[in-house]
A and B are shown apart, each in its own frame.
Chain A
């Protein structure tokens, strides 16, 4: 028996080694890793991959993620020109999703993924993202665009108050600009081939507040043109509030030339260069780690409504995952993305609002919990208008034209003519 023992032990070791070698491989069943293309860069890319790590650990399927500042243009080039689509793309623009559905590039969701969707998402979210019978996308992230960041210490020092209406905001901006110590706003639009998107967000909030959700919806759907007086008025207001001389730190050259994810820098300088910074909730992920709250290093308020009565309507955005391949490994990743707790690590880290109802409010850090509360209580939520427009206009031409309009290279009439002509030609 003693002589047999080493042989038995050796056999067990060999079998264990074989089992370990056979179980999780680094690649999927068909040998290739699953590729995801998305808009999350740098720290956000790390956060996203942290959310995927559990999937790779459980299945052994390797997931590779790539992102780009020229995300939309690059994705369309990959899918339609180079014909090397990623397996999955995470897309913030419904207009781009529609394009891939219409061209047949997108692959419908499998039954397992649909089951997860129905189990983990609220009906309102699914209704907002899915308007056809066949479902293609997994909503992943929700963003709150109508946020204005500020430093409580700077507001306290100058005796400024959070404005209750847009008129109050304009008065505050005038007061800050007149004092001349710092600019009212931090703002920039440079984002490679996506330069200009930040300006569309600003104007959308003004259209929604001044003209109401009905006009907003018609404008985003294309039934009201950019040349419409209501829309022009919002653009004029944006120029007077943000673009005109003395309104933004660094002026127009800085607006056009500074990376959009670094626009906040003057706000946090020891001697602040600006008083306010309007950017979505995810801007917190671009900034260094700060305490956020009413009496903390940084705070925020919702861009005020036109009238003082009631809460402000909100412009929101959302990212959806879509697949271009029907391999089982790709289906597995889509199902995982729709899973009850996928994204929870990012939620816990902060800077991310999940589109799922299965992720509980208590899982969010206090800052994001307040965003979630505001989203829940808002009287009106509208989706980012430019993101809903067709990809060629809303995620391309409009960005370029609005940048040229800010830089003074186009009059409003010329700008509206270019965009409306493109929309009419569709």
Chain B
């Protein structure tokens, strides 16, 4: 069997040719992996310019980060999804993150360090702006219970967020070297939302809600690790490789480090997701049990949470008849949920009056 005779072959040192797996990899490279053009290489180089253009770039980056974080913080505090999306469009954080992925793949240590420093600057600025905005305008929030839903939604990341970040990171890796597709980049920014989680961290720190702040930071770290990893893989598939032969060995280590980072964030995300699934099990158990308990009632409000294996349910229902004993509902929920539950039920009599006066 011969080694694949493509550009990938020139850039690669992996000895895969004599095994069935090697044959498959070789075939894949031959058919799927192209050679990046000079323009595509240049597009990645220009993500973070060097020399005289670096300082203006940094100024632009800092200004846009502060502005987008301010927009995000106000949007979060006023619970406006539209404003938060606007902030995502302004946010420049995708650029250094994609640059970090490109530097990882091309083994450009200096560019990688610069990219990471720029990301760090963006993180600090966005958190500080969130903190300051909350100090000035966050008095409406008095505790974890009264957080705007746009804020609280960012305090419970799950595996779905990891999936979003990986696919969006892949899209970023695909788009960045291709100037013709850069119009799609804002979509990636919206999908992963980098600045809003950071502004959320600042807001929550200012409110003294450290656990929630940690969770929002986890959401950002998820996005960061997953984008760098997925974009790196995408750039590899696009044929980007280190220029120097010697650097190629370290490429695997770099990719491994980003993969480890993804796995590290995936662990708490898995726990969060399992917890969310258990919460939804409880919600389903309650809604189904309510129908069995009394099919004439309707649910007005339902809160369900599982902690330490025990479900806590706050339920308000309304119905036209006398209330059935709550213990029956509790037993139905316990049996369906298959675990201990505490239920606080409020029953509102749903009386209808039709009157006429002449």
Interface residues of A (CB under 8 A from B): 37, 41-42, 45-46, 49, 64, 66-68, 70, 74, 77-78, 82
Contact = CB atoms under 8 A, between A and B. Distances in A.
Contacts of A41: 342
Given A66-B330, A66-B331, A46 B340 contact: yes
Task: Identify the interface centre among B327, B340, B342: most chain A CB within 10 Å of its CB.
Answer: B327
A270 B340 CA distance: 33
Interface of B: 310, 325-327, 330-331, 334, 340, 342
Given A41-B342, A42-B342, A46-B340, A74 B325 contact: yes
A78 B328 CA distance: 10
B85 to A, nearest CB: 40
Contact of B327 (A37, A42, A45, A46): A37
- Top 9 nearest A-B pairs (CB, nearest first) are A68-B327, A66-B327, A74-B325, A42-B342, A74-B327, A66-B331, A66-B330, A77-B325, A68-B326
Given A46-B310, A67-B327, A70-B326, 7 more contacts: A37-B327, A46-B340, A74-B326, A74-B327, A77-B325, A78-B325, A78-B327
20 contacts: A37-B327, A41-B342, A42-B342, A45-B340, A46-B310, A46-B340, A64-B331, A66-B327, A66-B330, A66-B331, A66-B334, A67-B327, A68-B326, A68-B327, A68-B330, A70-B325, A70-B326, A74-B326, A74-B327, A82-B325
A400 to B, nearest CB: 17
A70 B327 CA distance: 9
Chain B interface helix/strand/loop/mixed: helix
A280 to B, nearest CB: 21
Contacts of B331: 64, 66
A39 to B, nearest CB: 12
Chain A interface helix/strand/loop/mixed: mixed
A78 B198 CA distance: 55
A88 to B, nearest CB: 14
A52 to B, nearest CB: 12
Nearest to A41: B342
A78 B324 CA distance: 11
Contacts of A78: 325, 327
Nearest to B310: A46
Task: Identify the interface centre among B325, B326, B340, B342: most chain A CB within 10 Å of its CB.
Answer: B325
A77 B326 CA distance: 12
A42 B325 CA distance: 18
A74 B331 CA distance: 13
Contacts of B326: 68, 70, 74
A329 to B, nearest CB: 18
A49 B334 CA distance: 14
A268 B148 CA distance: 28
A67 B331 CA distance: 10
B63 to A, nearest CB: 42
Contacts of B327: 37, 66-68, 74, 78
A64 to B, nearest CB: 8
Nearest to A81: B325
B66 to A, nearest CB: 37
Nearest to A68: B327
Contacts of A82: 325
A46 B342 CA distance: 10
A45 B341 CA distance: 10
Nearest to B326: A68
A67 B340 CA distance: 12
